[in-house]
Structure 1
Amino acid sequence: MKATFLLSVSMPIVILPVERILKYKRRPSEVHMNDAVLNPTLADAVDKGIDLEAKVHLADFFTGPWQFASLEKGAGFPNLAADGLPEAIAAQLDTPDAVEDAKNLSANRFCKILRNALAHGGILYLDEHGRSSSASPVRRFAFVSTNDPRNPTKLLFLRIGMADYRAFLQKWIDWLKTAAIDEMLARDVGLDATEAADAIVPEEAAKAVGV
């Protein structure tokens, strides 16, 4: 229940800035729900933060430790709903290289994996060892996406502990608040960044950016 609630809460927090702001900034012809016009400062901050090429560990919203692995399609993708996380992928995610590979994803790719997994139910509940287990409490998540929605050739996996995922969500909210709300107050109210940060509490900031 706790795992499902955490994911449910995180869906609008992660999806809306990507789907209704970033997509408009980059592919406006595909968008019919455009929040970017409601707060251009926030829209610019999201576009700048979710860089197409820059490594995600350089982004202000990043916190780890995330682990990344990929699986070639080959003759076909496995049925993760029935079979769970493949052991070969779980073992790959256990390696130190998996942490480095996650940190070195582009911010754009990282956010797309999260967005697609949350939007399409591509999330695996894992035990404390990072394995699929129906008999053990949920302690980790694996977010799963394809590399290309039109012609997928790989499955992409991001794994993280529940507590670390919650910390990431807080950092994501703090990033939105700092990047947009402080600047908006400085512009519209005449406060500098430090004064602006003191003038708004986290709960109010979350409401202001719709999270």
Structure 2
Amino acid sequence: MGIPQHYSRDVPQRCEALIEELLPIVEGGLRADAKFGGPLKTTLLLALATPMVVLPVERIFKRVAFNDPGVADDRGIDEALARGVKSVLGEDHAFGGAPFGSRRWTYAERVGPFNVGQQWPEDLLDQLGTEAAREAAERAPTWRILQDLRNALAHGGVAYLDAVGRASEGAAEMLAFAGAVTRGHNVVGLNVLRVHKDDFRSFLSAWAAWLKEVGVAEALGDTPPLAA
């Protein structure tokens, strides 16, 4: 396997290819299914989502947003892609209208801190099932949704939920992501996302496709017209 030329763009493409190839195999059944209560579709998506989201957010968006090279900076490799990321993840762009966005996620902002490794608060799970929470996700800034998702994936703020949005020992139908809101070194709240696993699959595919295409579109937009 060749070394990626641009980690923020190329690794998500590779992960998307793995999902495309492996998901039918996982859905068809594995020997371990009986041990874990069913096909490991959600686990596959979650495992590959981490590099798909964390790498571009860390190596492009955070570097663009803070103009800080950090320890890894992909901006100079593809400046058109960096500009495209900045334009779509700008302050005024809502998640519901993003190329990879959705109107089916739900969102709760600045809920009180709790241990995400234990039972999640019932009132929060109720809130995530409301129309108000769906509208909150749709109108939230795209950068904030991506940042919260990145934080949840990077720090383990993830929960499997059933078809009615509750933790259970049955099949996982939804995922919840909790990203910390901090003040200094203190966690003062959590921003929480909820999404059905099929919608999360659609998001990952659209996210990878956008990262692949946005730099090309930006570069074409910068190309001077051909002389007549």
After TM superposition, the score normalised by the length of structure 2 is 0.74
Q: How far apart, in 2, do the equivalents of 1:153 and 1:187 lie?
A: 43
Q: How far apart, in 1, do the equivalents of 2:183 and 2:204 lie?
A: 25
Matched, 1:79 2:115: yes
- For 1:51, the equivalent position in structure 2 comes to 90
Q: How far apart, in 2, do the equivalents of 1:185 and 1:10 lie?
A: 29
Matched, 1:123 2:178: no
- For 1:204, the equivalent position in structure 2 comes to none
After TM superposition, the score normalised by the length of structure 1 is 0.79
- Deviation (angstroms), 1:107: 1.1
Q: How far apart, in 2, do the equivalents of 1:139 and 1:50 lie?
A: 28
- Deviation (angstroms), 1:108: 1.4
Matched, 1:23 2:59: no
Matched, 1:169 2:204: yes
**1:138 aligns to what SS in structure 2?**
coil
Residue type at the aligned position of 2:158: I
Residue type at the aligned position of 1:140: M
- Deviation (angstroms), 1:173: 1.7
- For 1:66, the equivalent position in structure 2 comes to 105
Of 190, 213, 218, 1:178 maps to 213
Q: State the Cα RMSD in Å.
A: 2.2
Q: Aligned runs of 1:4-15 on 2, under 5 Å? A: 4-15=43-54
Kindly provide the CA deviation profile for residues 98-135 of structure 1, in whole angstroms up to 9, marking residues without a partner as x.
Answer: 100111111111111111011111111111111111x1
Kindly provide the CA deviation profile for residues 166-191 of structure 1, in whole angstroms up to 9, marking residues without a partner as x.
Answer: 01111112222221134447878x99
| 2:106–2:133 Cα contact (<8 Å) kept | yes
Matched, 1:97 2:146: no
State how many pairs are aligned: 185
Residue type at the aligned position of 1:101: A
Residue type at the aligned position of 1:25: V
Q: How far apart, in 1, do the equivalents of 2:135 and 2:77 lie?
A: 37
- For 1:144, the equivalent position in structure 2 comes to 178
- For 1:3, the equivalent position in structure 2 comes to 42
Deviates more, 1:179-188 or 1:96-105: 179-188
Q: How far apart, in 2, do the equivalents of 1:80 and 1:156 lie?
A: 12
Residue type at the aligned position of 2:84: A
**1:153 aligns to what SS in structure 2?**
strand
Of 68, 71, 79, 1:40 maps to 79
**1:152 aligns to what SS in structure 2?**
strand
Q: How far apart, in 2, do the equivalents of 1:165 and 1:122 lie?
A: 16
Q: How far apart, in 1, do the equivalents of 2:183 and 2:151 lie?
A: 9
- For 1:198, the equivalent position in structure 2 comes to none
Deviates more, 1:108-117 or 1:169-178: 169-178
- For 1:208, the equivalent position in structure 2 comes to none
| 1:70–1:89 Cα contact (<8 Å) kept | no
Unaligned runs of 5+ in 2: 1-39
- For 2:24, the equivalent position in structure 1 comes to none
- Deviation (angstroms), 1:55: 1.8
Q: How far apart, in 2, do the equivalents of 1:182 and 1:78 lie?
A: 43
Q: How far apart, in 2, do the equivalents of 1:81 and 1:152 lie?
A: 15
